[in-house]
Amino acid sequence: MKKTITALVAMYVSLYPAFAGAYVGLCCGKCGGNMPMNIPGAGVPETHEFRFKISPMIMNMSGLRDGTDSVSSDSLLSPQDMGMMGGGMDTSSGGDFMAVPESMDMNMLNMAMGYSFTDNFFGGLMFMWKNNTMPMKFNSMMESMTGKSGFNMESSGMADTMLMTKYRLYADDPLIPTKQVSLFMGLSLPTGSIDEKNETHPVSARRSELLPYSMQLGSGTFDPMLGVVYQGSASPWWWGANLIYTFRPFENARGYSLGDELSLDFYSMYQVRYDIVVQFQLNGRIKNSISGEMDEAVSGESGMTTRGDASSGYMSPLWNPDNYGGTSLFATVGAQWQPLPLHIIDLSFGLPIYQNLNGPQLEENYRVMLTWYMEVPTPSSVRYTGKDKQGKSRLGF
């Protein structure tokens, strides 16, 4: 990861003298300025230009929710006389599980690059890396057995990779549009692992079992995406809306598929000065529950059941595919700053307004994303200001 970032910085240093004076200010109808960095924008960057983005993101989840109601972890933990080896549990006291999640921290690093092939067509590629940590709380029997109140589930590695394109369908002006509509198409490639094991469990026999769905690093399937994105402007205001649907029609090698997802985003941006823009977003998500179930009926050598309904031995609600998905609405605020020509630093902070979850499952508390965005004009771009062989600039002076 460090080598990749170093290479990007070195590339920029070598190219910067050629295009440093090409563009000053965030107000750009076709370029990267005045577009959100955490969601797709409707515009297409200037033709024959590269764009690069590096975006670390932090997401925190804490507390359990079923529908719109909060659920206490103690109410889900099973009584002390529960059988451990599968084949039935005493649920007369209302508890069903040996362990429940208390929170989850997901750290992501997204690295994206793209190129504008024509005035209307842009293609890009995004790599993602994840680090997941989920503290688990034991019931009293597991606490007595292990001498611990719980443990941390952990997974880390490369996530799924995304191919994406935007094709501009309409613009009211070819150079500085005030209204534009683009078709968004994407394909998520299954480069993230779905074979992560529960290696941090204090009971050695449990360490060979698969981690639950939310702790895996990818979907395990090829997932197409299709959407429409719109942007309007009346300087110093910019606004837009995105509607994108992610299809998951295929079953992965473990016998399940993540739920389809519909995202609907609205945003408004205001240009405070030539190099600063503030933004506000509403981000809606509707996600279906998981189809199918992990093919690992028992955990490796231990013979302990990790799947099934509550009466047949779920160890945690995390292994129930019905406890995934739901509807959520977030409010996001942020700002963009241009420290150098063709560079943007974007910081956004999101909080939930509404969550109706298929639970019990963890509810999201907040998400923070920081983005470094860079545009690199090539010699074929109208914004390129490098010198030709006679020492003259491409702009004629």
Q: CA-CA distance, 83 to 93, in Å (whole number)?
A: 14
How much helix, strand and coil, in percent to the nearest 5, is found in the chain? Answer: 10, 50, 40
Specify if 32 maps to a domain: yes
Contact 219, 248 (CB under 8 A): yes
Specify if 391 maps to a domain: no
Q: CA-CA distance, 285 to 325, in Å (whole number)?
A: 9
Specify if 35 maps to a domain: yes
Specify if 241 maps to a domain: yes
Rg (CA), the chain: 24
Cβ count within 10 A of residue 92: 8
Query: Can you name the residues that pair with 378 across neighbouring β-strands?
Result: none
Domain holding 369: CATH number? Answer: 2.40.160.40
Give the domain range for residue 33.
2-377
Q: How many domains does the chain have?
A: 1
User: Can you give the pTM of this predicted structure?
Assistant: 0.84
Contact 186, 224 (CB under 8 A): yes
DSSP output for 147-214: SSSEEEEEEEEE--EEEEEEEEEEESSSSS-SEEEEEEEEEEE--S-S--B-TT-SSGGGTTSBPPGG
Specify if 36 maps to a domain: yes
Task: Please list the pLDDT of the chain residue by residue as tens digits (397 residues).
Answer: 555 545 544 544 444 444 444 444 454 544 445 688 988 876 777 889 999 999 999 999 999 999 999 999 999 997 654 444 333 343 333 467 899 999 999 999 999 999 999 989 999 999 999 999 999 999 998 999 999 999 999 999 999 999 999 999 998 887 788 899 999 999 999 999 999 999 999 999 889 999 999 999 999 999 999 999 999 988 889 999 999 999 999 999 999 999 999 999 999 999 998 889 999 999 999 999 999 998 864 333 333 444 433 333 468 999 999 999 999 999 999 999 999 988 999 999 999 999 999 989 999 999 999 999 998 999 998 878 775 544 444 433 3
- Look at residues 68, 64, 85, 86 and name the one whose alpha carbon lies nearest to residue 76: 64
